[in-house]
Structure 1
Amino acid sequence: MKRYALALDLKDDEKLIAEYEAYHRAIWPEIAESIKAAGILNMEIYRIANRLFMVMEVDDTFSFEAKAKADLANPKVMEWEQLMWKYQQALPMAKPGEKWLLMDQIFACKND
């Protein structure tokens, strides 16, 4: 199993943030299925103010490229992503069209 951490911002608007959270309390079944089908075993999103932090634990079949390709071929996922852009805004260092940016791990403390 591998773990990835990603970040993204929301538009700094309390009403929009509340709507975004409501969508994520009841994500569409097709979105949950696309996540599972991609080899994502666990996905969690955390928020402070308008900053989002996502943790994904994936199996050996997962790749960002394959997930992106599958998403482009799935009309319901594309509809979801378009809707989410109403609430999201790219991080300042993002390239055009980039959403969630992969974060580098800079520290780990393990108790074995």
Structure 2
Amino acid sequence: MNTKKYCFSCDLKNDSKLISEYKEHHLAGNIWPEITKSIKDAGVVNLEIYLTGNRMFMIMEVHENFDPVKKAKMDADNPKVQEWEKLMWNYQQELPWAKDGEKWIPLEQVFKLGE
């Protein structure tokens, strides 16, 4: 199976209580099963989120036929995903250079060792 990676960044509100709550929501067993199902159904093989301070980095490994436009439509049409996204906006904030309403910003790869 061939896969590819997408990397994104987003900020959390710089509040230790909110950051702690956000991390709690993402502990194993705390993410709503409808959310993990929607991620897998879209062709995401693996998804990881890393945090430093209040800046997050998300790495998505996807099937080679993954379509980000299709995933966005699936998310928009899924009431449970929309409920989750609304909840997460209590913790997240746009990056300073994001367009209005833009949350996770794609990262530009500037270096890769190997291959």
TM-score by length of 2: 0.94
Deviations 1:28-70 (Å, cap 9, x if unpaired)? 0000000000000000000000000000000023121111100
Aligned to 2:12: 10
Aligned to 2:32: 28
Q: Percent identity?
A: 55
Report if aligned partners of 1:38, 1:61 keep a CA contact under 8 Å in 2.
no
Gaps of 5+ in 1: none
Give, as a single letter, the amino acid of the residue that structure 2 aligns with 1:48: T
Aligned to 1:56: 60
Aligned to 2:84: 80
Deviations 1:59-106 (Å, cap 9, x if unpaired)? 023121111100111100000000000000000110011000000100
Deviations 1:14-36 (Å, cap 9, x if unpaired)? 00000000001120000000000
Structure 2 counterpart SS, 1:91: coil
Q: Which runs of 4+ in 1 moved over 4 A?
A: none
Aligned to 2:75: 71
Residue 92, structure 1, aligned to residue 96, structure 2: yes
Q: RMSD of aligned C-alpha atoms? A: 0.8
Give, as a single letter, the amino acid of the residue that structure 2 aligns with 1:16: L
> Matched residue pairs, number?
111
Structure 2 counterpart SS, 1:35: helix
Q: For 2:91 and 2:26, how far apart are their aligned partners in 1?
A: 12
Give, as a single letter, the amino acid of the residue that structure 2 aligns with 1:23: H
